Amino acid sequence: MQKVIVIGGGVIGLSSAYYLTKLGYSVTVFDKGDFGEACSKGNQGWICPALHEPVPAPGLMTESFRMLLQKDSPLYIKPSALPQLSSWVSQFMKYCNERDFIAGETALLTLSQSTLKLFDSLQSEGLDFELYKNGILFAFLNPENLRYKIKRLENGASVHGHESPVALSATEVKELEPSLSHKVIGGILLSKQYHIRPESFSKALTKWLVASGANLQPHTEVIDLERRDHEIIAINTKAERIEADHFLLANGAWSGTLAKRIGYTLPLTAGKGYSITTTNPKVNIRRPIYLGDVKAGITPFNNAVRIGGTMELSGINTKLDKKRVQGIRSSITSYLNNSFTGDMEEEWTGMRPMTPDGLPVLGRIPNYKNLFVSTGHGMVGVAMAPATGKIMADLIHFGHTEFAIQPFEPNRFAI
């Protein structure tokens, strides 16, 4: 039985381990912390493939650059971090144009066409996690923002076969979600989209892997890769050296550090997200709501509601900025009738791995026969985890995949 070492125990690494185990590999997964406790944990959990688009957008770094340095901006670049981020930001700026945005959006929308079916399959195969099929509602205060989003969603439906959006009046929005305020002027409904509670998904994958004989190693950091010619032969932790036949880098924003040790430059930074999860909330939310004017979201779970949003570029760190958390609280007040309170609150921040072009990196690392990488998913890691896991298992086992992954090839960053 061939051995695979997966470095990283978030939803990407765990999903890859799942599909590799099903193909008959002996899989060991390492994580420097607990499984599913990093950027996966406080995610909104939206399985909404119709929404997928790259972060670098036309005009983002020219018309709005001053806004990006303001703490209440949905995309915030911390001024003190600019020197260390300068190389990444300069590359990011090159992709903030219409041509690259459309190409990136097309790549993501194409890859995400199987997303909903894959989550159905995982649940039918016995994974027990919170999965809801209530659709997603978009609420707007500004009619121009509403018109723009409808146009984008209609394009995704006509060109890529995603669900067609249904425009709603203010009255219709209120009928669906009575907790929304009178300030909401209209909305959009995508009734066939899903959402999950990410923590329950990570736990389900972990439980299945343990039951299936995979070797899970939490709190064990991989500090080096040992190579011989064009192959990796072993990994090193602080305590031991372990050999395997294949290796997968899936440790999020930290993937670039290990890649650099074997001569591959992976331009990654952390796009920090924030969320607040309230148990037994006083506000009653029936389905995920995207607050279109402030780019924040509200997501209901079993006996809990989570609000979240923002993208902060401040380098690789897990510091929770209270002002950013307060910014999320403030951003939702105009949309709700009641205050966002409940029995207990958990504030969270996590580092989404970000590439300059806003697309994940999926495939075999250049010049290595048996070293693969899967990272850079940004805000769509949870939604894309099953597709990504299947892709990486296909590549390791068959050497190819049915998915269209050319836009995500690791060699696009090769120097």
CATH number at residue 385: 3.50.50.60
Residue 136 lies in a domain: no
CA nearest to 232, candidates 201, 264, 275, 210: 264
Rounded Cα gap, residues 246 and 248, in angstroms: 7
For 35, the token pair is 């499984």
Q: Is residue 148 part of a domain?
A: no
Pairing relationship of beta strands 215-217 and 296-301 according to DSSP bridges: unpaired
Digit-coded pLDDT (tens) for 93-152: 899 999 999 999 999 999 998 999 999 999 999 999 999 999 999 999 999 999 999 999
CA distances from 146 to 153, 199, 298 (A): 11, 32, 18
**Digit-coded pLDDT (tens) for 159-216:** 888 899 999 999 999 999 999 999 999 999 999 999 999 999 999 999 999 999 999 9
In a domain, 330, yes or no: no
Residue 5 counted as domain residue: yes
How sure is the predictor about 254, in pLDDT bands with cuts at 50, 70 and 90?
A: very high
Coil, helix or strand for 270?
Answer: strand
- Residue 88 domain-assigned? no
What is the share, in percent, of the chain residues with pLDDT greater than 90? 75
| Domain residue limits at 221 | 1-49+97-129+195-267+355-415
Residue 212 lies in a domain: yes
Contact of 290 with 139, CB cutoff 8 Å: yes
Instruction: Please check whether residue 401 lies inside any domain of the structure.
Output: yes
- Total domain count, the chain: 1
Decide if 60 is inside a domain: no
